[in-house]
Structure 1
Amino acid sequence: MGHHYVPMATVQPSRIQYSQCVVLLVFLLQFSSLQLPSLGYDIQDKYFINCGSDTSVRESGKVYAGESALKTNFDSSYTASNQSAVSSPLYQTARIFGKESWYKFNTEPNGTYLVRLHFFPFPPPSNLSSATFNVSVPGFWLLQNFNATNATNNNSALVKEFYIQITSPGLRITFRPLPSSFAFVNAIELFLLPLHLIVDQVARFTYGISTPKLSTYNGLYSRVLETKHRLNVGGQTTNDSLLRKWIPDDTYLAYPENAHNSSPYNDIKYRAKVDSDGPNANLFTAPTDVYGTAKVTKNMSTNASDVEYKLSNITWSLPVEKNTDHFLRLHFCDFFSLQTDLTVFNLSIYDAHVMAVNEDGSVPSVLPTPYYYDFVVHSDDSGFMRVGVTPSASGYIHFAFLNGLEIMRVIESSTSVPPDPVDSNSKHKLLVVLGSVVGGLVLVVVVVALGFLWHLKLSKEKPFENSNWLPVLVTAGGSSHNRLTDLTSQGSPLPNINLGLRIPLIELQSATKNFHASQIIGKGSFGNVYKGVLRNGMIVAVKRSQPGSGDSGQGLLEFQTEIMVLSKIHHKHLVSLIGYCDERFEMILVYEYMEKGTLRDHLYNTTFPSLSGEQRIAICVGAAKGLHYLHKGAVGGIIHRDVKSTNILLDENHVAKVSDFGISRTGPLEHQSHVSTTVKGTLGYLDPEYLRRRKLTEKSDVYSFGIVLLEVLCARPVIDSSLPREQRNLAEWGLLCKNKGILEGIIDPSIKDQIDQNSLRKFSETVEKCLQEDGTDRPTMGDVLWDLEYALLLQRGVHGSSYSSVSTSLQLSNVRRLPSFSTPSEVDDSSKVLNPAA
């Protein structure tokens, strides 16, 4: 496979005069000093900025100059000094912005630049950890709803790094505080990178289809790349000549027992020129410390009949953003093999075969020469990217290795980024433009007048004391823009949205104190959840998506699905949708307020009081009722597809309600056994059969709910990489303990003495049935509900202490399983004898 797809240009000779040759030579020398790093590339010192200070400091061998030499717009800004002791002089000061502010840098056009932003949140009195803000460059959001609090956990700075292709002779970096907040930065780095360090055209790897494929991805230069991971595989922390930090890979290994670190190798042969375009690496691609160390598979068998090496694969699992393109670079340097016996092994991404490394003839002819492979990969819903190397069965050498790994998020351009203001030296150009569009201004005046009248009308409906609203983007079509209307106008198929549930944005601003930080009751990948009070006095939860989350279409689809599902169903154990808002590029959902938060909030790593054993079983019964209604009570049947403890909410009486239907699907029809669909869900809760076969059934929800039951019983995360390998996956560990008869050993100590042994036995049997590998062996949600109600009765001692006598009594005719409901109305709990959760 070719790594890059850049055509080579040819130059035809021509006759020129001697004097012309001299002029041309001088020009080429001047040009090469700016554009050809191969003739002596060095990092410029011009844009290493010590923000919040006019004093220069030295850090990591570089001088960070004071910011006074830059062109800036610092209205309503000030500086702060760090009162605590820190090792780096960079984090002694910070520039703090009370409103939109920017730095302006002079840059050479048509080059790739590296931008680093340093954030170190000072402790009080400055309290920079409370800042929430956006950062942008023209056309791109670098950071959105950014908060640097995670940097304070280890008393180190949070450094954000971006690769940006600049086509103009300047770059403006703008800091935009969110309402009622501020922005800050401690240091900025910006410098030109060597040619071809990142290229415009690479390979795209597509998985999740019957035959994974490689194709061409064009246009990396038209995107921004954000560094997420840079690993020195098999080595230690090191810095390279571009001041990039490479860290060890050990914490990301899925099966550490399969790998070992190679002995360091120092004689790395960089044979590629600095300005060459891969696959051969040059001294700026990665340092010797990276190419001279590696992770290597254990059990390097040379016996073709021995299959042990096939199991000795190495897999890295790295956290990434969900459903987003990522640039992946894999570094190799084969210092293990003889030239005639080059190691061939398999590369996989998301467990799908990509290619046989070293088999395509692109590896350098002289070893050990470093090389690399580039891919663009779209991440799945798990929040992790899995990369693996596996020994090949062919050839004489059976092992695999990797030297380095980089992952960068691909940031798409966004029309929601406000354009930069026009510089004063360009105002004369603006006058010319204005003169040519006088006729258009008339139309603009009309639109503004209509907008003013509309705003005046809304203001009369609801006056506000606080007029300092969030910046809301408005298109030429007017301020009533909404995504769902847009989708319909474009001719896309859209089911009937319940427009009667639409709530004006201005009312939600009032309800949440203009989305003030003090009203936040939850945060997630979707954005923030705010507590609000509507004009009628109803307390609600307002879930507001992050700006730009609907640009890809996936966020809009989940927004639409949530409205469609919840506007058609109603049940005591499903969270009710109060309304939604899709004005002005917003996607907001309004739910009934659940005072006690999520089930997960009450199980572990929490300040909430511990739930009793009886409360936990009753909560599980309530959640099972909601899921059973989804499967059998809603028209057509609905599969939730993301059952987990954070999607089970509790009201003031600890009544459980299932929430978050953004990725739910209508269940299979009567003549279908499953729904074929892309795998979506949460790592740790995913049905392995669904993950393997891409076939979704109601039993997929049953499996996920079984994980929740085990989580409730043990009060620990479903995936905990800090534990020994056999204990990391809660499902595997729980079933192993049950089979060994030691399940009581992993039960939450706070409830161990509370649980009736017969109830525990029934509860654990239910868990085991839910977690069967084959979906056909799992019970229906109705059966699960019946079993849980049974366990609750045992816990309450309704039928005495004899397990067998209770089992016999519950088989009598006066106890029956839940019926299936054919209408989307709420289940009437009085329709059955067993009613422990009523």
Structure 2
Amino acid sequence: MGLPPASSAGTVTVDIFSSAMILLVLCMSHALAAGAGAAYVPTDSILLNSGSTEDAADADGRTWLGDQTKNKNSFLSSGESRISTAAQQDPSLPSPVPYMTARIFTEAATFEFPVSAKTQHFLRLHFYPATYDGLDPACSFFDVTVAGGGITLLRNFSAYANAEALTQAYLIREFYLPPAAATGGTLRLTFTPSAARNGSFAFVNGIEVLSAPDVYGGAASLVGFSGEDVAVGGSSLQTMFRLNVGGQFLPPGNDTGLGRTWYDDSPYIFGAAVGITYPAADNVTIRFPSTAAKMAAPVDVYGSARSMGPDPQVNLNTNLTWVFQVDAGFTYLVRLHFCELQMSKLNQRVFDVYVNNQTATAGADVIGWAAAPAVPTFQDYTVYVAGGPGAAELWVVLHPSAASKPEYLDAVLNGLEVLKMNDSAGNLAGLNLRPSEYSDAEKQQEKEEEQFASSGTSSGMLKGAAGGAAALGLVCAICFAAYSRKRRRAVMGGVGSSGGWLPLYGSSTTTSRSTISGKSTASSHLSSLAVSLSRHFSLAEIRQATNNFNEKLVIGVGGFGKVYRGVVDGGTKVAIKRSNPSSEQGVNEFQTEIEMLSKLRHRHLVSLIGYCEEDEEMILVYDYMARGTLREHLYQSSSGGGGEAAPLPWRQRLEICIGAARGLHYLHTGAKYPIIHRDVKTTNILLDERWVAKVSDFGLSKTGPSSLDQTHVSTVVKGSFGYLDPEYFRRQQLTDKSDVYSFGVVLFEVLCARPALNPSLSREQVSLADWALLCKRKGKLDDIIDPALRGKISAECLAKFAATAEKCLSDHGLDRPAMGDVLWNLEFALQLQEAADAGAAPPLPPPGPAAGEHAYAHRQADSIAGSEMSEDSTDGVNPVFSQLINPKGR
């Protein structure tokens, strides 16, 4: 009773950590597009860029009207206000328009939009809670109401608090308003600062008003009351979640003309039963039954699906479950989108649908609903979520219907929407979100950013796109990025109230939490493989190894906690990283580090010896790296004075870079699936007593694409200022080329012996990547290399090394080399230097790696568990990339 062969539908197994999230995605095949039809053209289309003095286009090419055009307060009919520009631009904004300008209200003010009186409208409000005219965004609380029908959209709303809890720099609130909201052909929208808070103010950055067809009209089944329906038409709705189940992120331009955004569903899946996702086969054409049906969801939503998988026994014992945080005390419209892409007959795949532990539909058969395969359909349910003010959960569960005796025991879903319905008083407003506990990786970055802001140390998140340091501005902009980071915390759950529909993206975790004496503590859910490959130290052993955590043995401090030098087993030197016991940091990093490093063994990866998880302590034990970080030997010794060690010679720097490249190349290609480090920087390249480079700190690492059909994984952006791939930051689509970009910064850092970011320099020099690229293009690279290296690098070697670094920093990931190619070029650069040192003619470049040799083919050769190597083993890379000319060990 398994499913049809996977090849019939291009089935792809999906890892729970995989989530496609931001910006443009490739369209489905032309066969799918044949069923798409023409897009809806709204009769009313107003995009207002509040506070702007001129019209401007956003990143999607849509034109926004400046509401100060021709010195007129366009659409603002009453109330005093002023316009302002945000003090800083957060680099995660999708576009400056409409977020960088705002209209500020210190008293009630009303917009009047002339619209069609007999149609529905989408209303979208855009908020960027930055500093305007010195006003603290944390002091902004306000109401937003619509006069028609007495609708309250937001009450005592704080964009700042919600953005902080949702880990977003900006917010979008989307509402679907009935015709009654526009009385007399005018939609009146009023912003009122909260009277209960002194000094409060209201603001808005952008307003969208678009007419829409009757997408959510009619009636919906009332869950728990068989045969009873709830009228949805005429209600005001707020979009809470809109998901392309089993598919990729779809931006507004990929919708049907309604400007809706569809997110990936995987962050909301509960448990390990994530099922499989698959696209429609090439010979399948999506056929909409009517013009109205085309407006329900774009063809791309119906062209992919998530099912439970081919194993009937597993399916019978599990559910396909999505969990959402919502506001209690409201009724919700839950719309499930279906399109059968695999089955062709009735009773082949039949399943039950549950909403909040109540049967919504028993014996659901998509073919029966749609009357044919590849025909879209949807089912609407309403459910009341009880409880007092605050957060609640809404569950959607699918389970095979064994009672129907179908041919295949499976369930399937293509799309899912959750919309809040107004209550009897016309209210849609929920409580503001509360910032919840966030991951240690986020806290580590926040702490490093604060240190960077005060000391100039380069740590944290993003510098911006190549050539974009000027856009970031001077130190204030860099410090603001650290400030903004505090608002972008991963909150996969535990917030006070949902209130909004921007997804709570973040790395899923199997770590559960309990509370002991009021303090949260994590219990280990490490895999059996991780446990078997990692030694468990008792806390007593750790205390003995560190002389009870003697401060004199501290060799480093990070966001996770302090790192101690220690001795175990009667003489083995180790580095012991202890999570700060007074905080709740480190759960995600602790788990990821053990899971990753317990499976990886390579000469150029730092080795994890074991861990300790006892009495609320989280401790990791590593091989001791006697010479510390690469960064220490670039900055603290480059001057050569004051009793410091001599600067690292160029050849040694090259060999360190080659070692680090080998470690990263192994991560990308030596395992079954690629592993993306996500935090490549000179502080995460450690050196042992023999100066062998080892890549360390896998707390942010992520498993990469699991098949040839996937080009990336999508995830919240994590990394460090100055090193982070700008394309990854813009799109939130992570690939191994993101590590390549970071490594390119490392290469220039090694060459120039200066931090990746230095706010004390002039504006164009703040970012090393931007400054080095500019100097190289102007032919002035010699001016910025480490003075200790001048005259000691052969021209041929420098040209090859700099060209390699430059290629790594290409704006687009597709233009960057694979790490195998980077390694190949660095080894050739070393050969060029050796030839120059020996007075020989430069060698000719050997043939490069065979096309495709270092991509997915390598991954198929070795599983993670089977790729262990001892310290004395070979480097674990294909020989074509190593010892290119001289067959001697390095």
Give the TM-score, by structure 1 length. 0.45
Structure with greater Cα Rg: 1
